[in-house]
Amino acid sequence: MTRLPAPAQLNFDVLIIGSGLAGLTAALLLAPTHRVALLTKRELSDGSSGWAQGGMAAVLAEGDTLEQHVSDTLIAGAGLCDAAAVRAVVEGAPEAIAWLRALGVPFSEDSDKPGELHLTREGGHSQRRIVHATDATGAAVQRTLLEQLRRTANITVFEHHMLVDLITDRQLKREGKQCHGAHVLDVASGRVRTFSAGHTILATGGAGKVYLYSTNPDTATGDGIASAWRAGCRVSNMEFIQFHPTCLYHPHAKSFLISEAVRGEGGQLLLPPEAGGTRFMPAHDARAELAPRDVVARAIDFEMKKHGVDCVYLDISHQSPAFLQEHFPNILQRCAELGIDITSQAIPVVPAAHYTCGGVLTDLAGRTDLSGLYAIGETACTGLHGANRLASNSLVECVVLARATHDAIQAQEAAPSSQTSAAGRVTELPAWDESQVTDADEAVVISHNWDELRRFMWNYVGIVRTSKRLERAAHRIALLDAEIQEFYAHFRVTRDLLELRNLLQVADLIVRSAQGRHESRGLHFSRDYPVLAPQALPTVLAPAVA
């Protein structure tokens, strides 16, 4: 891995934007044959992948089958999954786990069967098939891949570099639908640089920060989804935002997730003592705490509003301290730091925005509507998740689709008609023009609008929706968008401005998608349309600039 200062324009074979599991996997696979630029808008380890606690779903246990994993995924997706995408990821999952183990990822092993992986079970799964590294799987995977990255030649890392916009044939005033690279903000210098590449891969994660309460890191601002939309790509299923049922509720805890696996290991959800302290999930679903996340999140939301309480409680104290230390050391430690002893006390929890099930529409090799542009990971919508993501399918999807994208790039370049060779690429791309802008006079405009956006998205476009709430959200988005577009046109770009611009675009896509779905399905629940439509159809939005 090399780190170099960037001149005005840089030329690479592959430009990867995002350093989570999808981006890191693609970089490591492509580096042996390509000059790779890996961009991340903060530090390399600041993406959402490192925050994932639960694990990676794969059929590895005796008695489990690929068909059962496929069935569980289709059931969770509420009829909206793409069957081919589900099968491709499920079938590729064991090989993805094997690849990660070969790289040295320290997955937890079964204490009774040395050398065999310990498998846990999470909501929506019919079998124990969750491979994990205690309760910090994402961090362990990302740490291992970063170690590999540092030992890999042909990868140039650009930290504190943020995508401004993709460069397409439209910017070059020519016919065609091809991506040639991107304009990128060097956050440290404030300078916008031009990156040219035969292949550009968006791996920027989701958009959880569009909501007031989220389990996501601050980087999850929908940058890839918004930029692909502006470039002319279709997006799909943006109304399906997964709210994790159990985010730690504490004034000094920011976005700390209480893993799905806590319920998988017998944790029970209880009302607060002032509301009776009783267990409530069996009254909402026969699967109780093991119901899919949308069911559990709506149940918690219902009980909180019914009883007028700020949170509910998740109790795992019936397990021994040794069991909790072995399986949930990070949760145990973090709660203890906040004065909560989970060996004897229940954990206060609330739902929070967690995962973007929709995204840039792609095929099963990550290809988008633009030639040379790919999207993988949470940025993309392959159809795997449908109307609700099954727990622990997302990290596996990152690896499986990154591998498929690598294979597609290699196959395309090997084809006799390939247009992606160095000779066939555009070498001189337009520089960023900021001759008509100045430095912003009041940054408070950005922070105020950011706060307003996240609050009304939480109130109007949250777990339970109505047509009136969506209309109100659409009205507020239009007003904010006009203000921010004017700001964008007159002042130099900053990371905060770009993130707000992207969040507004994503918010608009979420609301438009929600308004078009006249039913309640999976993660989209509308009081005005509570009945399931007879036919399950994806929501696909196409930009006017396509």
Phi and psi dihedrals of 242, rounded to 5? -85, 125
How big is the CA angle at 51 (ends 85 and 270), to the nearest 5 degrees?
Answer: 95
**CA 523, CA 72: separation in Å to the nearest integer?**
16
**CA 457, CA 211: separation in Å to the nearest integer?**
6
User: Given strand 268-270, what is the order of strands in its sheet?
Assistant: 241-248, 347-356, 312-315, 268-270
Looking at 87, 293, 465, 501, which residue is catalytic? 293
Whether 193 is catalytic is: no
**CA 15, CA 78: separation in Å to the nearest integer?**
35
C-alpha dist (Å) from residue 407 to 29, 67, 103: 9, 25, 19
Residue positions counted in the chain: 546
Joined together, the tokens standing for residue 328 give 């949930």
DSSP 8-state symbol, 290:
G
**CA 499, CA 476: separation in Å to the nearest integer?**
18
Is residue 400 within 8 Å of residue 377, measured between CB atoms? no
394-414 helix and 83-103 helix, angle to the nearest 10 degrees:
90
Phi and psi dihedrals of 385, rounded to 5? -85, -20
Produce one character per residue of 466-489: b if its CB has 16 or more CB atoms within 10 Å, e if not: eeebbebbbebbeebbeebeebee
**CA 67, CA 86: separation in Å to the nearest integer?**
10
Owner of token pair 């707000």: 500
Q: Alpha carbon 65 to chain centroid distance?
A: 27
Query: Closest Cα partner for 238 from 229, 230, 249?
Result: 229
How big is the CA angle at 462 (ends 79 and 306), to the nearest 5 degrees?
Answer: 100
Residues annotated as catalytic are 293
